[in-house]
Amino acid sequence: MCPSTAASCVRYSSMRSGATSKRASLATWVTCAVVRAAALELGLSGMADECTKPRYLGALMAKNELAIGIDLGGTNMSVGLVDRRGRVVARSKKKTKAQEGRDVVIDRLIVAMEAACEAGNVKLADIRTLGIGAPGPVDSERGVVITAGNLGWKNVPLGEILRKRLGIPVTVDNDANVAAWGEATVGAGEGCQSLLAVWVGTGVGAGIVMDGKIWRGDLFTAGEFGHVIMYSNGQPGSRKVEEFCSRTGIVRSLRTLAGLNPESLFHKVLARHEADGKAGPIGSSSIAECYNANDPLVRDVVDSSAELLGIGIANWITMASMRTVILGGGITEALGKPYADRVEESIRRHVFPSAIAPKVSVRMTKLKDDAGVLGAAMLAWDALG
Protein backbone atom coordinates (compact mmCIF):
# COMPACT_ATOMS: atom_id res chain seq x y z
CA MET A 1 0.00 0.00 0.00
CA CYS A 2 1.42 3.40 -0.96
CA PRO A 3 1.30 6.33 1.50
CA SER A 4 -1.35 8.14 -0.54
CA THR A 5 -3.68 5.15 -0.40
CA ALA A 6 -3.04 4.77 3.31
CA ALA A 7 -3.70 8.47 3.74
CA SER A 8 -7.10 8.06 2.13
CA CYS A 9 -7.81 5.26 4.59
CA VAL A 10 -6.76 7.52 7.44
CA ARG A 11 -9.19 10.21 6.21
CA TYR A 12 -12.01 7.67 5.94
CA SER A 13 -11.18 6.18 9.36
CA SER A 14 -11.05 9.62 10.97
CA MET A 15 -14.56 10.40 9.74
CA ARG A 16 -15.78 7.14 11.28
CA SER A 17 -14.05 6.87 14.63
CA GLY A 18 -11.59 9.59 15.54
CA ALA A 19 -7.81 9.80 15.82
CA THR A 20 -7.12 7.28 18.57
CA SER A 21 -8.91 4.33 17.01
CA LYS A 22 -7.68 5.10 13.51
CA ARG A 23 -4.08 4.79 14.74
CA ALA A 24 -4.63 1.42 16.35
CA SER A 25 -6.78 -0.09 13.60
CA LEU A 26 -4.51 0.97 10.76
CA ALA A 27 -1.38 -0.21 12.54
CA THR A 28 -2.75 -3.75 12.71
CA TRP A 29 -2.94 -4.24 8.94
CA VAL A 30 -0.40 -2.03 7.19
CA THR A 31 3.28 -1.58 7.93
CA CYS A 32 4.47 1.01 10.42
CA ALA A 33 6.48 2.71 7.68
CA VAL A 34 3.37 3.14 5.52
CA VAL A 35 1.25 4.38 8.42
CA ARG A 36 3.95 6.84 9.38
CA ALA A 37 4.33 8.08 5.80
CA ALA A 38 0.56 8.49 5.48
CA ALA A 39 0.36 10.37 8.77
CA LEU A 40 3.15 12.72 7.72
CA GLU A 41 1.40 13.29 4.40
CA LEU A 42 -1.67 14.44 6.33
CA GLY A 43 0.40 16.57 8.70
CA LEU A 44 -0.39 14.31 11.68
CA SER A 45 3.06 14.23 13.27
CA GLY A 46 1.68 12.95 16.56
CA MET A 47 0.16 9.96 14.86
CA ALA A 48 3.41 9.36 12.95
CA ASP A 49 5.26 9.12 16.26
CA GLU A 50 2.61 6.95 17.91
CA CYS A 51 2.38 4.34 15.18
CA THR A 52 6.03 3.31 15.64
CA LYS A 53 5.66 2.60 19.35
CA PRO A 54 5.95 -1.00 20.56
CA ARG A 55 2.23 -1.52 21.24
CA TYR A 56 1.42 -0.83 17.59
CA LEU A 57 4.43 -2.82 16.40
CA GLY A 58 3.18 -5.76 18.46
CA ALA A 59 -0.25 -5.56 16.86
CA LEU A 60 1.38 -5.50 13.46
CA MET A 61 3.72 -8.42 14.16
CA ALA A 62 0.88 -10.56 15.52
CA LYS A 63 -0.18 -11.16 11.92
CA ASN A 64 3.34 -11.85 10.65
CA GLU A 65 5.72 -14.76 11.16
CA LEU A 66 8.97 -14.00 12.93
CA ALA A 67 12.27 -15.83 13.32
CA ILE A 68 15.10 -15.06 15.70
CA GLY A 69 18.60 -14.63 14.33
CA ILE A 70 21.59 -14.66 16.69
CA ASP A 71 25.21 -13.69 16.09
CA LEU A 72 27.05 -15.34 18.99
CA GLY A 73 30.54 -14.01 19.64
CA GLY A 74 33.09 -14.43 22.38
CA THR A 75 32.41 -10.92 23.72
CA ASN A 76 28.87 -10.04 22.63
CA MET A 77 25.72 -11.72 21.39
CA SER A 78 23.39 -9.88 19.01
CA VAL A 79 19.77 -10.95 18.62
CA GLY A 80 17.20 -9.83 16.07
CA LEU A 81 13.56 -10.59 15.30
CA VAL A 82 13.44 -11.07 11.54
CA ASP A 83 10.50 -11.52 9.20
CA ARG A 84 10.51 -13.69 6.08
CA ARG A 85 11.54 -10.73 3.90
CA GLY A 86 14.72 -10.23 5.88
CA ARG A 87 13.71 -7.18 7.89
CA VAL A 88 14.90 -6.78 11.48
CA VAL A 89 11.88 -5.55 13.43
CA ALA A 90 13.40 -5.61 16.95
CA ARG A 91 16.76 -6.40 18.46
CA SER A 92 18.81 -6.79 21.63
CA LYS A 93 22.48 -7.12 22.53
CA LYS A 94 24.10 -8.67 25.59
CA LYS A 95 27.57 -9.49 26.85
CA THR A 96 28.37 -13.16 26.27
CA LYS A 97 30.32 -13.69 29.53
CA ALA A 98 32.00 -16.76 28.06
CA GLN A 99 34.38 -16.95 31.02
CA GLU A 100 31.45 -17.96 33.24
CA GLY A 101 30.87 -21.20 31.35
CA ARG A 102 28.60 -22.83 28.80
CA ASP A 103 25.43 -22.90 30.87
CA VAL A 104 25.67 -19.19 31.69
CA VAL A 105 26.13 -18.34 28.01
CA ILE A 106 23.07 -20.39 27.04
CA ASP A 107 21.01 -18.79 29.82
CA ARG A 108 22.09 -15.38 28.52
CA LEU A 109 21.02 -16.36 25.01
CA ILE A 110 17.52 -16.98 26.37
CA VAL A 111 17.55 -13.64 28.22
CA ALA A 112 18.69 -11.83 25.06
CA MET A 113 15.92 -13.49 23.04
CA GLU A 114 13.34 -12.49 25.61
CA ALA A 115 14.65 -8.90 25.53
CA ALA A 116 14.32 -8.77 21.72
CA CYS A 117 10.78 -10.15 21.95
CA GLU A 118 9.90 -7.58 24.60
CA ALA A 119 11.27 -4.82 22.35
CA GLY A 120 9.02 -6.10 19.57
CA ASN A 121 6.06 -6.61 21.90
CA VAL A 122 5.75 -10.30 20.96
CA LYS A 123 6.04 -13.49 22.99
CA LEU A 124 9.01 -15.82 22.71
CA ALA A 125 6.50 -18.68 22.42
CA ASP A 126 5.19 -17.12 19.19
CA ILE A 127 8.56 -17.26 17.42
CA ARG A 128 8.52 -19.75 14.54
CA THR A 129 12.20 -20.69 14.28
CA LEU A 130 15.69 -19.81 15.49
CA GLY A 131 19.03 -19.51 13.70
CA ILE A 132 22.43 -19.05 15.33
CA GLY A 133 25.85 -18.23 13.95
CA ALA A 134 28.57 -19.50 16.33
CA PRO A 135 32.36 -19.12 16.14
CA GLY A 136 34.56 -21.97 14.97
CA PRO A 137 33.75 -25.15 13.05
CA VAL A 138 30.12 -26.20 13.41
CA ASP A 139 28.50 -29.51 12.45
CA SER A 140 25.44 -27.87 10.94
CA GLU A 141 23.68 -31.19 10.34
CA ARG A 142 23.61 -31.96 14.08
CA GLY A 143 23.73 -28.39 15.39
CA VAL A 144 26.97 -29.08 17.29
CA VAL A 145 29.66 -26.45 17.90
CA ILE A 146 32.75 -28.60 17.34
CA THR A 147 35.19 -26.15 18.85
CA ALA A 148 35.01 -22.45 19.70
CA GLY A 149 38.16 -21.16 21.34
CA ASN A 150 36.77 -17.77 22.34
CA LEU A 151 33.85 -19.48 24.07
CA GLY A 152 35.88 -22.33 25.56
CA TRP A 153 33.49 -24.83 23.95
CA LYS A 154 34.11 -28.27 22.49
CA ASN A 155 31.42 -30.50 20.98
CA VAL A 156 28.52 -28.50 22.45
CA PRO A 157 25.11 -29.66 21.08
CA LEU A 158 23.77 -26.13 21.00
CA GLY A 159 20.92 -26.89 18.62
CA GLU A 160 19.57 -29.74 20.73
CA ILE A 161 19.86 -27.77 23.97
CA LEU A 162 17.89 -24.82 22.62
CA ARG A 163 15.30 -26.99 20.88
CA LYS A 164 14.51 -28.64 24.20
CA ARG A 165 14.30 -25.33 26.03
CA LEU A 166 12.28 -23.43 23.43
CA GLY A 167 10.32 -26.09 21.61
CA ILE A 168 11.01 -24.63 18.16
CA PRO A 169 13.28 -25.60 15.24
CA VAL A 170 16.88 -24.45 15.69
CA THR A 171 19.54 -24.07 12.99
CA VAL A 172 23.20 -23.67 13.98
CA ASP A 173 26.08 -22.80 11.65
CA ASN A 174 29.45 -21.09 11.60
CA ASP A 175 29.26 -17.31 12.10
CA ALA A 176 31.08 -16.45 8.87
CA ASN A 177 28.84 -18.85 6.94
CA VAL A 178 25.64 -17.25 8.18
CA ALA A 179 26.99 -13.75 7.53
CA ALA A 180 27.80 -14.79 3.96
CA TRP A 181 24.30 -16.23 3.65
CA GLY A 182 22.86 -12.94 4.85
CA GLU A 183 24.72 -11.05 2.15
CA ALA A 184 23.70 -13.65 -0.45
CA THR A 185 20.00 -13.49 0.39
CA VAL A 186 19.27 -9.89 1.41
CA GLY A 187 22.60 -8.08 1.12
CA ALA A 188 25.31 -7.09 -1.36
CA GLY A 189 25.27 -10.53 -3.00
CA GLU A 190 21.53 -10.79 -3.49
CA GLY A 191 20.85 -12.57 -6.76
CA CYS A 192 24.30 -14.22 -6.89
CA GLN A 193 24.34 -18.01 -6.95
CA SER A 194 27.96 -18.16 -5.80
CA LEU A 195 30.14 -15.81 -3.77
CA LEU A 196 33.03 -15.55 -1.33
CA ALA A 197 32.46 -13.23 1.65
CA VAL A 198 35.62 -12.29 3.56
CA TRP A 199 35.42 -10.65 6.99
CA VAL A 200 38.53 -8.76 8.11
CA GLY A 201 38.43 -7.74 11.75
CA THR A 202 40.11 -9.07 14.88
CA GLY A 203 40.79 -12.15 12.76
CA VAL A 204 40.03 -13.11 9.17
CA GLY A 205 37.17 -15.43 8.28
CA ALA A 206 35.19 -16.29 5.19
CA GLY A 207 31.90 -17.77 4.17
CA ILE A 208 31.36 -19.52 0.85
CA VAL A 209 28.13 -19.79 -1.10
CA MET A 210 28.20 -22.10 -4.12
CA ASP A 211 25.32 -22.84 -6.45
CA GLY A 212 22.83 -21.20 -4.10
CA LYS A 213 23.91 -23.07 -0.96
CA ILE A 214 26.41 -22.58 1.86
CA TRP A 215 29.46 -24.68 1.12
CA ARG A 216 30.79 -26.18 4.34
CA GLY A 217 32.94 -29.04 3.06
CA ASP A 218 32.93 -32.63 4.28
CA LEU A 219 34.53 -31.64 7.59
CA PHE A 220 32.53 -28.41 8.18
CA THR A 221 35.68 -26.26 8.08
CA ALA A 222 35.40 -24.61 4.66
CA GLY A 223 36.00 -20.88 4.82
CA GLU A 224 38.77 -20.83 7.45
CA PHE A 225 40.48 -18.29 5.23
CA GLY A 226 42.51 -16.67 8.00
CA HIS A 227 44.43 -19.91 8.51
CA VAL A 228 45.56 -20.27 4.90
CA ILE A 229 49.38 -20.28 4.82
CA MET A 230 50.94 -17.56 2.71
CA TYR A 231 54.64 -18.34 3.24
CA SER A 232 56.53 -21.60 3.69
CA ASN A 233 59.25 -20.15 5.91
CA GLY A 234 58.99 -18.72 9.42
CA GLN A 235 57.17 -20.02 12.49
CA PRO A 236 53.82 -21.75 11.88
CA GLY A 237 51.87 -18.95 13.59
CA SER A 238 53.52 -16.19 11.56
CA ARG A 239 52.75 -17.42 8.04
CA LYS A 240 48.97 -17.21 7.85
CA VAL A 241 46.65 -14.70 6.21
CA GLU A 242 45.35 -13.71 9.64
CA GLU A 243 48.83 -12.80 10.86
CA PHE A 244 49.26 -10.28 8.06
CA CYS A 245 45.77 -9.05 7.24
CA SER A 246 43.68 -8.96 10.44
CA ARG A 247 43.44 -5.93 12.71
CA THR A 248 45.51 -7.89 15.25
CA GLY A 249 48.20 -8.58 12.66
CA ILE A 250 48.23 -5.02 11.33
CA VAL A 251 48.57 -3.57 14.83
CA ARG A 252 51.35 -6.04 15.64
CA SER A 253 53.31 -4.92 12.57
CA LEU A 254 52.70 -1.26 13.36
CA ARG A 255 53.85 -1.67 16.96
CA THR A 256 57.06 -3.31 15.76
CA LEU A 257 57.80 -0.50 13.31
CA ALA A 258 56.54 2.47 15.34
CA GLY A 259 59.75 2.72 17.37
CA LEU A 260 61.70 3.20 14.16
CA ASN A 261 59.26 5.90 13.03
CA PRO A 262 58.85 8.28 15.99
CA GLU A 263 57.42 11.00 13.73
CA SER A 264 54.58 8.86 12.51
CA LEU A 265 51.02 9.65 13.57
CA PHE A 266 50.59 6.04 14.67
CA HIS A 267 53.51 6.46 17.10
CA LYS A 268 51.57 9.27 18.75
CA VAL A 269 48.34 7.25 18.75
CA LEU A 270 50.19 4.33 20.31
CA ALA A 271 51.74 6.54 23.01
CA ARG A 272 48.35 8.03 23.82
CA HIS A 273 46.78 4.58 23.90
CA GLU A 274 49.43 3.17 26.23
CA ALA A 275 49.15 6.17 28.54
CA ASP A 276 45.51 5.22 29.15
CA GLY A 277 45.71 2.25 31.46
CA LYS A 278 42.06 1.30 30.83
CA ALA A 279 42.31 1.26 27.05
CA GLY A 280 41.63 -2.01 25.24
CA PRO A 281 43.20 -3.13 21.96
CA ILE A 282 43.87 -0.48 19.34
CA GLY A 283 40.74 -0.41 17.20
CA SER A 284 40.11 -0.29 13.48
CA SER A 285 39.00 3.34 13.77
CA SER A 286 42.45 4.39 15.06
CA ILE A 287 44.11 2.62 12.14
CA ALA A 288 41.70 4.34 9.75
CA GLU A 289 42.43 7.72 11.35
CA CYS A 290 46.12 7.36 10.60
CA TYR A 291 45.53 5.86 7.17
CA ASN A 292 43.22 8.69 6.09
CA ALA A 293 45.75 11.22 7.39
CA ASN A 294 48.30 9.65 4.98
CA ASP A 295 50.66 8.45 7.70
CA PRO A 296 53.37 6.74 5.55
CA LEU A 297 53.92 3.98 8.11
CA VAL A 298 50.26 3.01 8.33
CA ARG A 299 49.76 3.39 4.60
CA ASP A 300 52.63 0.99 3.92
CA VAL A 301 51.49 -1.66 6.41
CA VAL A 302 47.80 -1.51 5.48
CA ASP A 303 48.45 -1.49 1.73
CA SER A 304 50.77 -4.49 2.13
CA SER A 305 48.08 -6.35 4.05
CA ALA A 306 45.53 -5.50 1.34
CA GLU A 307 47.92 -6.82 -1.28
CA LEU A 308 48.32 -10.13 0.56
CA LEU A 309 44.59 -10.45 1.16
CA GLY A 310 44.02 -9.91 -2.55
CA ILE A 311 46.51 -12.65 -3.39
CA GLY A 312 44.72 -15.07 -1.07
CA ILE A 313 41.33 -14.23 -2.60
CA ALA A 314 42.75 -14.45 -6.13
CA ASN A 315 43.98 -17.97 -5.34
CA TRP A 316 40.45 -18.93 -4.31
CA ILE A 317 38.93 -17.42 -7.47
CA THR A 318 41.49 -19.24 -9.59
CA MET A 319 40.51 -22.55 -7.98
CA ALA A 320 36.75 -22.07 -7.69
CA SER A 321 36.01 -19.83 -10.71
CA MET A 322 33.90 -17.51 -8.58
CA ARG A 323 32.80 -14.11 -9.84
CA THR A 324 31.60 -12.27 -6.71
CA VAL A 325 33.60 -11.26 -3.64
CA ILE A 326 32.14 -9.38 -0.67
CA LEU A 327 34.39 -7.62 1.83
CA GLY A 328 33.26 -6.88 5.38
CA GLY A 329 34.44 -6.72 8.97
CA GLY A 330 35.80 -3.97 11.20
CA ILE A 331 38.95 -3.22 9.18
CA THR A 332 37.12 -3.16 5.85
CA GLU A 333 34.34 -0.92 7.12
CA ALA A 334 36.67 1.49 8.94
CA LEU A 335 39.08 1.90 6.01
CA GLY A 336 36.31 1.90 3.43
CA LYS A 337 36.62 2.15 -0.32
CA PRO A 338 40.37 2.97 -0.55
CA TYR A 339 41.15 -0.31 1.24
CA ALA A 340 38.62 -2.29 -0.80
CA ASP A 341 40.08 -0.82 -4.00
CA ARG A 342 43.57 -1.97 -2.97
CA VAL A 343 42.30 -5.49 -2.36
CA GLU A 344 40.47 -5.49 -5.69
CA GLU A 345 43.56 -4.27 -7.57
CA SER A 346 45.58 -7.10 -6.05
CA ILE A 347 42.92 -9.67 -6.97
CA ARG A 348 42.82 -8.52 -10.58
CA ARG A 349 46.62 -8.64 -10.91
CA HIS A 350 46.96 -12.14 -9.47
CA VAL A 351 43.90 -14.07 -10.64
CA PHE A 352 44.37 -16.68 -13.37
CA PRO A 353 43.67 -16.59 -16.19
CA SER A 354 44.06 -12.84 -16.45
CA ALA A 355 41.21 -12.73 -18.97
CA ILE A 356 38.67 -13.31 -16.16
CA ALA A 357 39.96 -10.41 -14.03
CA PRO A 358 37.52 -7.82 -15.46
CA LYS A 359 34.60 -10.15 -14.71
CA VAL A 360 35.36 -10.35 -10.99
CA SER A 361 33.05 -8.18 -8.89
CA VAL A 362 34.33 -6.97 -5.51
CA ARG A 363 31.67 -5.39 -3.30
CA MET A 364 31.51 -3.89 0.16
CA THR A 365 29.16 -5.45 2.67
CA LYS A 366 25.64 -4.06 2.62
CA LEU A 367 24.46 -5.54 5.92
CA LYS A 368 27.54 -4.71 8.03
CA ASP A 369 26.91 -5.65 11.68
CA ASP A 370 23.52 -7.13 10.79
CA ALA A 371 24.95 -9.73 8.41
CA GLY A 372 25.22 -12.43 11.09
CA VAL A 373 21.78 -11.83 12.62
CA LEU A 374 20.03 -11.65 9.25
CA GLY A 375 21.94 -14.58 7.80
CA ALA A 376 21.16 -16.80 10.78
CA ALA A 377 17.47 -15.93 10.58
CA MET A 378 17.25 -16.40 6.82
CA LEU A 379 19.01 -19.77 7.12
CA ALA A 380 16.45 -20.78 9.75
CA TRP A 381 13.60 -19.69 7.47
CA ASP A 382 15.09 -21.77 4.66
CA ALA A 383 15.31 -24.84 6.91
CA LEU A 384 11.70 -24.36 7.98
CA GLY A 385 10.51 -24.26 4.38
The verdict on 138 and 206 lying in the same domain is no
Whether pLDDT at 179 is above 60? yes
* DSSP-assigned letter for residue 384: H
**What is the C-alpha separation between 311 and 198, in angstroms, rounded?**
13
Same domain, 36 and 148: no
Neighbours of 278 (CB within 10 A): 4
- Considering the entire predicted model, what is its pTM? 0.82
Specify the number of domains making up the chain. 3
Predicted confidence (pLDDT) per residue in 18-56, tens digit: 443 333 333 333 445 544 554 455 454 444 444 444 544
Quick one: pLDDT band at residue 277, thresholds 50, 70, 90? confident
CB neighbourhood size of 251 (10 A):
21
Looking at the structure, tell me whether residues 160 and 259 fall in a common domain.
Answer: no
Residue 194 sits in the same domain as residue 332: yes
Lowest-pLDDT choice from 61-65, 179-183, 308-312, 374-378: 61-65
> Which range is least confidently modeled, 6-10, 310-314, 343-347, 363-367?
6-10
Please report which residue ranges of the chain form alpha helices under DSSP H.
3-17, 19-27, 32-41, 45-50, 54-61, 102-119, 158-166, 175-186, 241-245, 247-258, 265-275, 284-292, 296-320, 330-350, 371-384
Residues 35 and 173 in one domain: no
Residues 174 and 153 in one domain: yes
Region 343-367 average pLDDT: 97
Q: Looking at the structure, do residues 279 and 149 belong to the same domain, yes or no? A: no
Edge-to-edge strands of the sheet including 138-139? Answer: 138-139, 144-148, 153-156
- Give the per-residue pLDDT at 279: 66
Burial of 130 (C-beta count, 10 Å sphere; 0-12/13-18/19+): buried
CA geometry: angle at 187 spanning 186 and 188, to 5°?
A: 145
Please indicate, yes or no, whether residues 194 and 315 belong to a single structural domain of this protein. Answer: yes
Quick one: DSSP state of residue 359? G
Same domain, 83 and 40: no
Q: Concatenate the DSSP letters of all residues of 194-229 into one string.
A: SEEEEEESSSEEEEEEETTEE---TTS-TT-GGG-B
Q: Please report how the helices 32-41 and 19-27 are oriented relative to each other, as an axis angle in degrees rounded to 10.
A: 150
Does residue 324 share a domain with residue 222? Answer: yes
Give me the half-sphere count of Cα atoms (radius 13 Å) on the Cβ side of residue 368. 6
Length of the chain: 385
The more confidently predicted of residues 40 and 272 is: 272
The mean pLDDT value for 134-149 works out to 96
Predicted confidence (pLDDT) per residue in 248-270, tens digit: 999 999 999 998 999 999 999 99
pLDDT at 327 (0 to 100): 99
Q: Is the same domain home to 158 and 222?
A: no
pLDDT-wise least confident of 3-7, 193-197, 200-204: 3-7
Tell me, yes or no, whether 174 and 308 share the same domain.
no
Check residue 44 and give its pLDDT: 47
CATH number at 88 reads: 3.30.420.40
Average the pLDDT over 84-111 and give the result: 97
Domain, as residue range, for 156: 67-185+371-384
